[in-house]
Structure formats: structure tokens, C-alpha cells
Chain A
């Protein structure tokens, strides 16, 4: 009896035990290592609605958010005569790479170069990926050729835009159009091949794009954007390939202007206000937003620490980028685009491309800087801030090294700063706008006629001058801000007007190259006493070197000549 009970008990316990052991050991889950995804998206749960389709397409455009203030901006603006980022005290040394951009002594390890390369190729590969995705959807019948074909053409034009940017800055780059079958280590193409590729892509695909502007076409690569890329390509063909294409440039510009889709805004600054997305002048804009579409962090990059209280910004700016005196002075005082400077009597009353002079808080009190440079009796030659702790943006930037005064340099005031804004701006950034095309067409006409009194060119130029409140000019030749002593430069009026009109819109470097003055950097370069800033300049600097990070991993890339 006892034995039986014991036995039963043993069997019972044993059964439970064995059951527990083998339930898990034999159950199906025991060796199942599939991943369960909860808060992430994989291809299995995407591309199911039209909204998701659009959201995927949007990925190609969100690549552009690095355009207005990213590395591509720094690389193109700081290497021109309109912008500089001096080292101020301990700030903005950063290994000297920003100084080197200004001095044209960059090297292939400078981070801005690699950032720009990645920006462009990120755009190219996103376009390639989506083209491949959409083509795949056509091939398997999920979507019709009519619907997806338009998207594919649009992506190809957008890709051409990134290639134009690459051709403009790096020259010899690999053309990559495939995705899954793309070569791991693509080889460089010649500048001519890149040029031909861009031209062919645009001429083939432009006709498939909408000619509408506004609405769903706003901020998209539409027909006019394609024309504009072509116009830029042709206008600068002489820089890119050595062959002039003024006639083709003229035709492309005329197509845009004659379409009647765009008109100059009465007020220049309508293009740069916080709420500027309706501007009739925009051909291609990047619709930035402080919440949804971040990247336009101009207040951070340009304003003084204390400017936080001028605009009640949510963050303290970094006191970096500013313009230079010669460029600032290239605007006549009555130029509506210049604006005026704050004085001890009060803040500036007229808005302009610059913030200059004495600065005030939103409450009307002086903006102060406790760390302003104080006088050094032992070193009378050492720069010091004569007007004390009241922040005063003096357009005269004397040096680029660490002795630059904290308050030196006129700051960018072109885009309206939102009161109570954040680090990010909600102003849309115009990549292409009509005023640019008008001046391009003026230039194309002048280049073709070679006459400094070309009537068409003068008419177009004066159209832009008129809006700026300036008197018309009757001769296109004029001195240029940083080489006044050289006398009149052919087409100098067009060059100057482009500078004033297109300030901070990434046009200046290309203009300098086209006028053959980019390599005259000695004329605008600021002195530096900082060791480690090289003095390598030369004709080859019209192109940047292929970044070391890229040549390291891809031996098939050719370095540009001279590097």
C-alpha cells in the first residue's frame, strides 16, 4: 500500500516534471529564431497605400534638406568672396578647415568636402533606389507605366540636379544609374561624360514632367526645373568642358521667362520671408519647416550668441559665418537689398541682406557680450573691441585667425528670422528663382554679342536693378568690388548685380569661376597667423579634390588634376 502511494506520487511528480521539461524542449518555439518586429518598418509591411508611395518618393526630396546650410553650402560659399567663417577666440578653429576653405588651401581630408560628396551621392543613390523600386512595381504589374513613368522621369531630373552639383564642385565623378546591379566600386567618368549625361537625361525626361507650378508641383522637379538645370549647365559649360554653349543657355532661359509662369515679386524680400512659399518668383524651392523639414539652421550658423535675445530664439547661436567688408560695400547705400545698420540711437530700421551695426534685443535694449575683447596696454597692436560689450557687427573683418573680434563681420539678414524661432527656419529656400534667370539671360545675350551696350542684356539687368531701387545702367563693363584698382571688368555690372541679388544662394563661386576670378583669391583673402593653414592655391582649385574617405575605399576614383 505504502509502496503504491509512493510509486504513484513518484509517477505523478515525474510526469509533471517531464511534461515541463519537454513541453518547452519539444514545442515548436524551441528553436524558432525568427525576429518579431514591433516599432519598425520592414518592406513586408510597406508600399501598401498611395500615401506610403508618396512618402517613399519624398525620400528623394528630403535629401535636399542638406542643401541650404549643409556642407555643400559651406564649401561653395566660404570659398567665395561673399562669406567667411573666421576663428573667433577659442571658437571655430576646428582644425582650420573652415579657414582653409576661405584661403583656397583645402586638402582632401577636410570634412566639408566629404560631407558634400555624401550629400550629392546620397541624393543620387536615393533617386536610383526609387527608380529601381518604381520600375520593379511597373514590371510586376502593381502600378501602370503611366503613373510610375512620371515619377521615374521626375526622379531622373532630380538626379541630374545632384549631378550638376557634383560636376560643379568635384568634376570627375562616377555616373551611377543602376541600383541593385550598381558596381560596388564605380569608376570615375570624365567631366565631358558627366556633362553629356546630365544633358541627355534632361532632354529625354523633361517632356514627361508637369508644366504646372504650385500645388502638388511646388518643390518638385517639374518641367521648369529641368529647363533651369539645363540653363545652368549650358551657361557654365565653358567652365565644365571648355566649350561655350551661350546660345543653348539663352534658349533655355527664354523658355522659362517666356512661359509666363513666373514673375518678379514687387518686393525682393517676399522671397525670403518666413511665409514665402507662395512666391511667384520661385522655380524650384526647398520647403523647409522648423518641425517637419529641418536643415535650414541659418540663425545658428551666422548670428552672435547674444542675438538669441534679438529674436528670442530657443537656442544660443554659434557666432560663425559672416560676410566681408568689400562685398558688403559693393551694395550702394540706397540699394533696397542692403538694409541699414543699427546705431547707438536705435536698431536698424530697414531690412536688408545683412545684419550690421549695433544690435538690440527684442525689448529694445542693447545686446551685450561679457566676453568682448578688452584693450591690451602691453600689446597696443593687438585687436580689441573699442566699443565695449555692446554687440556691434562691424562689416570689417580684419583677420581670419583666432584674433578675429567676436563681433566682426556683417551677418546674414536676408531671410527673415522668426521671433521666438528655434534653431531651424521655416522659410523656404529658393534653389532657382526668376531673378536669377533674368540675369542669366542678360549674361547669355552679352556673351553672344560681346557688346557692353547690348540692349537686351541692359534691359534685363535693369529690370532687376529697378526692383532694388537702383538707377538703370547703360554700360555693362564696371569695376569689381575686390579689384577696383584694375578698372572696368567686361560684364562687371552683370557680375556685380548677380552678387548683390544672389547673395547666400550658392551662386557666387560659379560666377567667379565663369569670370575667371575664382583663382584670384589673394585679392579677397584675409590674413591669418595660424600655423597649419596651407598656402596651396592654383588654377586647379576651381574643382575640389575627391575626398580621401572616398578614394580610400574606392581605388577606381580618379583624383582631380593638381591634387
Chain B
């Protein structure tokens, strides 16, 4: 204790003494290659929080304590340099070397990081400075088009809609098709719980080898999100603000009121003219205004760093009455202790979102609603009170879309909280042990109310209220041991670990009708008089699953020339059958740096690599391997109804993971002093033991479908990423970069297994009502490509006004029946590309123009398939081109029903100016109150080049009408290429943003 006091006193005194003995140091920081001064370089006195920033000429000045000190100079894009100053030194000039190769950057891989030069599998990394900007409300948008092999789509502009994310196309047709998301080590995280502004980098594990360390969840790829953290040194405060104006980019080309009347006139049908002129699209849409605010502060000492941020988003949707408000906050604290041997990191993310979802159906009804109908009735009109003043045509499946949106409510409150703590202890110099615990809680509260006077829903039950709560709880414990060291010429990196994860889902749902008043909304379900009548519905559920794994990995680096990595994960899930609880997921990859052999100065890096890995996929739901009894209809026994319980699933004790084996051959390259760099990959992969709900015979089975491991699919493709620093001058720099994925093969090899015969092919995905129930649109066929759009081959209209379809089977009869159907399109794209153009103009201006496109896919335009039929003008609005459906002699089609055929399959090729932004960085004096001021203007989806006539030419990876619910035998994943009704229109937006740094 005595000693402690003495030490403290000495420190205090010396502190005072040192303060009195400061000296001033000045200098210039230049680019080592060009000799030009670099503004904005951070100059920090090592071990303290004091420092300075270089001015526009690269000059700095700061007070330093007397004696020898060390300065740390850092700036984005340059290698950080430390400079030791002798006790008397007062000037120092430093040349910073550009952090030339993109290959020297650090890449996040599963359970750790690696320098890019050592990576031997297909991993892509996108840093914050390359993220898409502007109207970005979800982290997925940040990297849309930025990673070769990663497809991120959201057809239509629903602000509350989800993204379909595919790594290298569809690798699974069964249960889970979205990649695993890992946020700062929290496996199974949700991108919705991270504000885009808080993300430092996103890394994508694309091949089997890199993802194999995630075992049963690696098959669909892994997205690793690293959030921003505090830095030792400065206290920084950043504010980002953004205002956005968003509007529909295109509508479906339907008849306007005049066209509608003209067509009716031509048909000679005394029209269904309600006397008004209404553009229903304009009635249900609005110019959506949004604003986003992000405030963060960060800083730290050598022992403690922290970052806290708060994000607020208030966004309107382009559909009236829709939008959301979201408050998100995050906290990251890192504390070192025990002589810096122990590092403890605490992370907290919390998101609260209130959303008004509206109803997607409004888009469909707006498309087909009579354009001569008024939105509102005149007061006093018959039925004015009945429909609360809205016009309603009493017809089947035909509702005023404005009334749908305005009379009814569909709201949600989402609460998400993630907490994580990591302790990392350096036991020996080369040996460290980590323990990690995270807890994720998600809660989704929904409320819907259908008005008593809403003809669409509500009038039938005299009001209807609905409430739903779903909660997901997920805790993860992981511990890892790492050892790094050299054995001879080889540098070795060894990892071993154990992981335990527990998932609990529970929820409650109730709905009831017959309300005495609409005043309660969904807030007083007890007032629904249907409940005492035995109607209405209540249900609740709870389920639980566990994942347990042991894993290990060895990375070897021999002379910075030969690289080898091998990993294995032994993982078990409670969802598997009792005979197959544990799976083994190995991976091996190797690379060689050929530049070291070639010795050409123009080749910086040329690393050839090859990898192989096995990954898995889990059943979506728990208990799929158990024989369960579910309640069916009740049974009338002795005057009363007794609930009947019967089989709801078959036992499948052999149920196991879906297995994907993937080989990747790639090259990472960098030429001419990193003027040109990128990578090229070829992959081929086979997914077997697909998890499919398969129809099985009863008996011997108890239930008519079983979740089974069946069949095999195969994909291969080529990915290219290339960036070229075309112009690199102070006045102008220009870097174009391209990502390109070419899908070579996407084949359903087999969907049979043993006794379970698929029967060669099946036709799925029904066109639907009106009139086209039992019209399958997709053929799933063994040995053929996935996504065959299948149907009649349109030949024209005959002179009697009937459809004519080709005689495909050659029986001489143009019957238009099932036997004359053929493949009429391909739902999956041939290739996707992202083309980014980055500019800087002088010191202050920067710009980015980013194009994104997909090519080679077809889309079945459902709106045309139903409503490009002239006669429908009696009942619906029709497609603008309905009047073109004529015989060669000019006779209009006379049938009353649409008939989906090759006529309605269109090419979906598109190229979109997805993101455009231009920014101005103010030059600030070294001692200004602001560290940074940037203003920018961004545009999203400014234009799309496409011949497609429907809502959005975007790839449809999934049939939204089937969805991916596994209660269906065949998920919607097998049915790509269907542009269904109910899709929101595409939007275009312009944003003005400001970034302020203090």
C-alpha cells in the first residue's frame, strides 16, 4: 500500500512536471510516392489521447511532452506509421506509403480474421467506404451488387419488405435458403437489428471451404457483419443525417379510363362505366418522405475503447398509410486488464420499430379496379353509410383499394435486443482462450383490424380484430482456444472451439369478429362477440432447438508463398432424427502465391487457390423427425364434439442435414502496383440429401408426407471481380470496378431416394383464381435445370376469336390441353453484374455511379396472364395491350378468361442505375470545431433499362404465393420466375445527406 501511494504521488508529480516541460513538434505528412501533402492524417502521441490532424497541405503541429515520444500517423488508404522522436526533436517529415494492395486488408472469416493474402477460399469483403449510399434502410442494401456471387433482391418497394439473399444462386430447395448472418460473432443474428450506419464491414463466405466452420448452417453461405468500434485516442462525435424523397418508378400499364371506355365501345359492350376517371395507382400511392438521423460517439484510451450510437429512422412507404419508425441504439465497450492479457468486450444492440404495413393486396386491386369508378361516393348516395363513403362494386374478389388501405389497420411493433460479452485471455504469448456469450431476444407484436364497413374484409364478420405475438429467444455460448507460432519456415495458426446454442420460439395469436364499434381497433379483442359464439380463433405454441458443435482449424503460411487451411466441425442439432444427431463438416483449401515465382515487377500478387468443403442445412422447424399427433376436426360422440387427434407427421429417426459439397478454384490477382486487382472463381457444388417434405404412401406411413433427405441438385458458376484504378491524379481519379457472376449450371439431378420415387417430373405453382386454378406454371423435372416455366405455346388468335396454342405433342390437335405444354421460359438468370464507378475530383468532390443488372431470366407476367384479355373489361380493368390480342384479320379475343401461356412470359433482362451519389467534403482548418463535414446527394434506382412490361424485372428467386413454408411439399424456391400480383411497385428515390464529424 505504501508503495502504491508512493507510485501515485510520483506519477502525479511527474505529470505536472511533464506538463510544464512540453515542446512543440511540427511537420509535414506526404504521400511517399507522389510527395504531395496528405490532409486529414491522424497524428497521435502513442499511449495518450492527445494528437492532431494534418491540414490541407499535410502539415501538422502539436505539443508533446519532453523526452522521447513516439507518434502514430494513420490515414485511411495508407499504412500506419510510428515515428520515434528523440528528446529534442521538434520537426519531423513523414512519407506515408499507400496501403497499396487490396490484398493486404484484413478479412473477417469464421471465428477470426485473416490477412487477405493468406485467404485460400472464396471470401469477399466490403468495407464501409464502398457501401451503397442514400436511401438505405437495411444492411442488405449496403452490399447489393457489390459482391460477385451474392444476389440480393427485393422486388418492389415495400419499406417493410424482406430481402431474398442468395450466395451463388439457389443451393438448397428445401428448408433454409437465406444465408447465415453472424454479427460480431453472434451466429444466427438478424440484419434487421443493425443500423446500416453502425457497420464497419461485411464479409461474405461464399464457398464450402470457408463456410464449413459453420457446419449445419453453412450451405447457404455466411454473411459476417462487423460493427464499428471506438479507437484509441480521439474522442469523436459523428452525426449523419439524411432526408429522402421516394416515389413510384413505374406502374403496370393498365387501361386508363378513356382506353377502358374505348375498348368497351369496340367490343360493343354497353360499358360498366361508372362515370368517373380515376387513376387508382395515384390514389393508393404517395411521394414518400423519410428522414434518418444517426449520432455516434466513440473514443478510448489504451485500456478502454467504446462506441455508442443512436439511430432514428422515420420512413413513409409509397403506399398511402404505410411506413415505419425505428429507433436503434448500439453500445460497444472494450476493456483491457491484467497487464493487457485480458480483453473484455461488451456489445449491445437494441432496435425498436413501429411499422404500418398496409396491405399488399391494394396493389393488385388498384391494377384491376374499374378506372371509371370514383374513389368516393357522393354523400347521400345509396350505400354511402354502408361503405363509409367509399365506392364499392359488389363483385367477387373486387375491392376498392383505397378503402382497403384507409379503413383497415395492419401494424407491428418489433423489439430486438442483442447482448454479447466476450472475454479473451492471453494465457501464453502465443496462446489465447476466448469465451463468448450472447443473448438475442426478438419480439414481434402484430395487430390488425378490419373495419365493420370494409367490404374487403371486415363487413363479413362485422369488424374483425387480430393480435399476434411471436418471440424468439436465442442464446449462444462459445469458447475457443488459439495458438499461433512458427514451426520452421511455417507460420501456424491453430483454432479449437466448442459452441452451444439454444433457440426458443413461442407465440400467441387470436382473432375474432362481431364488434359493437370500430372504436377499439385491435386493442380490445375481448369485445369480439364471436368468442362467446364459439367462433374466432386462438392458438399458441412453443418450440425449442439446440445446436452443439466442436470445431477446429489449422492455417499454415509457408514463406508467404504456400498457404494451407483445414477445418472441421462436428455439429449436432436436436432437429435431426435420433439416428443421425451429429454431422461432420470438413474443409481443406490451399493456395500458392505465384508472384513470388514469376518475379515480374508488374505482378504484385497472383495467388492461385483451390478449396473443398462440406456444409449442411438444417430443417426449419423442430420436431420434424418425431411422430406427432395433431388435432384435426372434432368427432361427434354421444351428443358432443370431442377433438380428434391423429397423426400430423411421421417419425423419421434418420432425418439428417442437407449436405453440400463444393469445390472452388480461384485466383486473386493484383497487377501494376495494384492498379488492377480482383479475383476470379469457378465453383461447382452438389447438394444432396435435400430436406423436402415428400409425399409418402399411407400405409405403411401414418401421415401422407414426411420430411426426408431426398435427391440432389447441382450448381456451378464463374465469378469475376475486377477493379481498375484508371486515373489517379489529384485533380481526378477514376476507379471502375465490376462484379460478375455467371451461372453455368443449376440442375435438379434427382428428387428421388430409394422407395421414394419422384416420378420424373411434377408440375407446381398454380396460376390461381380467377379461372386459372389447376394451371401449374413450373415444371420440376429430374435431370433438368431448375426453374423451367412451363405452359402452352401461344400461336395467336383465330378468326373466331379463340386462343390458338401450338400442337406440341404432335397429335395433330391444337387442344390447348395439358399434353400440349412445353418449357416456355427459364426463371433463373444467366448472369448478374454490378458495375461501380468511383470518382474523386480534387480534394473535395467524390462521386459514385453504380449499375446493377441481371440477365437471361424470364418472368411470367401474371397481370398479363390474367388481364390482357379484352372481354374482361366487363369485370376488371385490363392491360393496356389487351386490345392487341387479335387474330391476323383483326378479330379481338372473345374468351372471357385469361389463359397463361408463352405470350405472357417475358425476358427479365435489366440494367439499373441502382445508386448514384455525389459528395462534397469541406476542407477544414486543423483546429476547426469540425473534424469533417460532408454533404452528399444520392439517388437510388434512377432508371432501369429493360424490355419487361410488368412490375419489376428483378429476379424472383421464390414464388411468393407458395412461400417457403415447409407445410407444402415443394417450397416456392423451386418456382422462380413468377411475377405475381400483390407486388409493390418499384420506387425511385433521391436523398440529401450530411456527415458531420466533431
Measured in the bound complex, the distance between the Cα atoms of B423 and A128 in whole Å is: 59
> A286-294, A444-452, A476-484: which lies at the B interface?
A286-294
Known A-B contacts A30-B548, A41-B645, A111-B774; the reply to A306 vs B760 at CB < 8 A is no
Measured in the bound complex, the distance between the Cα atoms of B513 and A373 in whole Å is: 35
Measured in the bound complex, the distance between the Cα atoms of B637 and A96 in whole Å is: 40
Among residues of B, the one whose C-beta sits closest to the C-beta of A121 is B698
Q: How far is the CB of A241 from chain B (nearest CB, A)?
A: 26
Counting CB contacts under 8 A, is A543 at the interface? no
**Contact yes or no, A318 B634, CB < 8 A:** no
Partner of B638, one of A87, A122, A216, A306: A216
Counting CB contacts under 8 A, is A24 at the interface? yes
**Contact yes or no, B500 A30, CB < 8 A:** yes
Interface centre among A122, A184, A314, A532 (most CB of B within 10 A): A532
**Contact yes or no, B699 A185, CB < 8 A:** no
**Contact yes or no, B627 A43, CB < 8 A:** yes
Partner of A33, one of B272, B572, B645, B774: B572
Known A-B contacts A91-B396, A531-B802; the reply to A316 vs B460 at CB < 8 A is yes
| A529 contacts across to B, CB distance below 8 A | 802
Among residues of A, the one whose C-beta sits closest to the C-beta of B394 is A370
Measured in the bound complex, the distance between the Cα atoms of B801 and A530 in whole Å is: 11
Q: How far is the CB of A59 from chain B (nearest CB, A)?
A: 4
Measured in the bound complex, the distance between the Cα atoms of B646 and A129 in whole Å is: 10
> A13-21, A143-151, A194-202, A327-335: which lies at the B interface?
A13-21
Measured in the bound complex, the distance between the Cα atoms of B753 and A553 in whole Å is: 12
> B138-146, B585-593, B765-773, B834-842: which lies at the A interface?
B765-773
Counting CB contacts under 8 A, is A315 at the interface? yes
| B506 contacts across to A, CB distance below 8 A | 38
**Contact yes or no, B498 A184, CB < 8 A:** no
Give the size of the chain A interface in residues (CB under 8 angstroms): 113
Interface centre among A30, A33, A319 (most CB of B within 10 A): A33
| A378 contacts across to B, CB distance below 8 A | 267-268
| B576 contacts across to A, CB distance below 8 A | 33
**Contact yes or no, B875 A90, CB < 8 A:** yes
Known A-B contacts A35-B622, A55-B642, A90-B875; the reply to A13 vs B393 at CB < 8 A is no
Counting CB contacts under 8 A, is A486 at the interface? no
Known A-B contacts A21-B433, A371-B395; the reply to A293 vs B757 at CB < 8 A is no
| A9 contacts across to B, CB distance below 8 A | 338
Q: How far is the CB of B537 from chain A (nearest CB, A)?
A: 10
**Contact yes or no, B697 A185, CB < 8 A:** yes
Measured in the bound complex, the distance between the Cα atoms of B817 and A107 in whole Å is: 11
Q: How far is the CB of A213 from chain B (nearest CB, A)?
A: 13
Counting CB contacts under 8 A, is B127 at the interface? no
> A173-181, A232-240, A245-253, A495-503: which lies at the B interface?
A173-181
Measured in the bound complex, the distance between the Cα atoms of B697 and A125 in whole Å is: 10
Measured in the bound complex, the distance between the Cα atoms of B570 and A33 in whole Å is: 13
Q: How far is the CB of A37 from chain B (nearest CB, A)?
A: 6
**Contact yes or no, A30 B498, CB < 8 A:** yes
**Contact yes or no, A531 B500, CB < 8 A:** no
Among residues of A, the one whose C-beta sits closest to the C-beta of B866 is A90
Interface centre among B342, B541, B635, B697 (most CB of A within 10 A): B635
| B816 contacts across to A, CB distance below 8 A | 530-532
Partner of B636, one of A25, A218, A313, A530: A218
Q: How far is the CB of A23 from chain B (nearest CB, A)?
A: 10
**Contact yes or no, A57 B635, CB < 8 A:** yes
| A122 contacts across to B, CB distance below 8 A | 698, 704
**Contact yes or no, A376 B267, CB < 8 A:** yes
Measured in the bound complex, the distance between the Cα atoms of B394 and A401 in whole Å is: 24
| B695 contacts across to A, CB distance below 8 A | 549, 553
Counting CB contacts under 8 A, is A485 at the interface? no
Partner of B875, one of A97, A287, A313, A371: A371
**Contact yes or no, A215 B774, CB < 8 A:** no
Interface centre among A55, A111, A293, A369 (most CB of B within 10 A): A55
Among residues of B, the one whose C-beta sits closest to the C-beta of A130 is B646
**Contact yes or no, A292 B698, CB < 8 A:** no
**Contact yes or no, B698 A371, CB < 8 A:** no
| A182 contacts across to B, CB distance below 8 A | 699-700
| A65 contacts across to B, CB distance below 8 A | 633
Q: Enumerate B392-428 residues with CB–CB distance to A below 8 Å.
A: 393-398, 423, 425
Partner of B646, one of A14, A126, A178, A305: A126
Q: How far is the CB of A160 from chain B (nearest CB, A)?
A: 17
Q: How far is the CB of A243 from chain B (nearest CB, A)?
A: 31
| A43 contacts across to B, CB distance below 8 A | 627, 629
| B773 contacts across to A, CB distance below 8 A | 93-95
Known A-B contacts A55-B643, A58-B635, A369-B395; the reply to A531 vs B896 at CB < 8 A is no
| B113 contacts across to A, CB distance below 8 A | none
| B702 contacts across to A, CB distance below 8 A | 129
| A96 contacts across to B, CB distance below 8 A | 817
Q: Enumerate A1-47 residues with CB–CB distance to B below 8 Å.
A: 2, 9-10, 13-14, 17, 20-21, 24-25, 29-43, 46
Measured in the bound complex, the distance between the Cα atoms of B771 and A318 in whole Å is: 11
Known A-B contacts A41-B630, A93-B771; the reply to A403 vs B272 at CB < 8 A is no
Q: How far is the CB of B582 from chain A (nearest CB, A)?
A: 8
Size band of the interface chain B makes with A: 35 or more
Measured in the bound complex, the distance between the Cα atoms of B978 and A560 in whole Å is: 37
Partner of A41, one of B535, B629, B698, B876: B629
Q: Enumerate A336-368 residues with CB–CB distance to B below 8 Å.
A: 368
Partner of A35, one of B574, B643, B699: B574
**Contact yes or no, B699 A293, CB < 8 A:** no
Measured in the bound complex, the distance between the Cα atoms of B622 and A365 in whole Å is: 54
Q: How far is the CB of B967 from chain A (nearest CB, A)?
A: 14
| A308 contacts across to B, CB distance below 8 A | 460
Partner of B815, one of A52, A373, A374, A534: A534
**Contact yes or no, B646 A62, CB < 8 A:** yes
Counting CB contacts under 8 A, is B632 at the interface? yes
Q: How far is the CB of B504 from chain A (nearest CB, A)?
A: 9
Known A-B contacts A33-B574, A42-B626, A121-B698; the reply to A90 vs B802 at CB < 8 A is no
Counting CB contacts under 8 A, is A118 at the interface? yes
Measured in the bound complex, the distance between the Cα atoms of B407 and A391 in whole Å is: 29
Measured in the bound complex, the distance between the Cα atoms of B635 and A239 in whole Å is: 34
Counting CB contacts under 8 A, is B34 at the interface? no
| A35 contacts across to B, CB distance below 8 A | 544-545, 574-575, 622-623, 625-626
Known A-B contacts A90-B872, A552-B760; the reply to A293 vs B817 at CB < 8 A is no
**Contact yes or no, B896 A402, CB < 8 A:** yes
Known A-B contacts A39-B543, A54-B642, A91-B771; the reply to A552 vs B872 at CB < 8 A is no
Q: How far is the CB of B562 from chain A (nearest CB, A)?
A: 34
Among residues of B, the one whose C-beta sits closest to the C-beta of A40 is B628
| B535 contacts across to A, CB distance below 8 A | 290-291, 422
Among residues of A, the one whose C-beta sits closest to the C-beta of B536 is A291
Counting CB contacts under 8 A, is A109 at the interface? yes
Q: Enumerate B291-343 residues with CB–CB distance to A below 8 Å.
A: 338, 342
Among residues of A, the one whose C-beta sits closest to the C-beta of B694 is A553
| B393 contacts across to A, CB distance below 8 A | 370-371
Counting CB contacts under 8 A, is B775 at the interface? yes
Partner of A318, one of B396, B572, B628, B897: B396
Counting CB contacts under 8 A, is A56 at the interface? yes
Known A-B contacts A87-B897, A531-B802; the reply to A17 vs B425 at CB < 8 A is yes
Known A-B contacts A90-B770, A374-B269, A534-B815; the reply to A62 vs B644 at CB < 8 A is yes
Partner of B542, one of A39, A422, A530: A39
Measured in the bound complex, the distance between the Cα atoms of B894 and A16 in whole Å is: 82
Contact with B along A161-204 (1 / 0, CB 8 A): 00000000000000010111111110000000000000000000
**Contact yes or no, A531 B627, CB < 8 A:** no
Counting CB contacts under 8 A, is A89 at the interface? yes
Counting CB contacts under 8 A, is A295 at the interface? yes
Q: A2-B3, A129-B647, A316-B396 are in contact. List 18 more A-B contacts (CB 8 A).
A: A17-B425, A24-B477, A40-B543, A46-B629, A55-B643, A56-B646, A57-B635, A59-B635, A59-B645, A89-B874, A90-B896, A95-B772, A97-B774, A178-B699, A182-B699, A291-B535, A313-B460, A370-B394
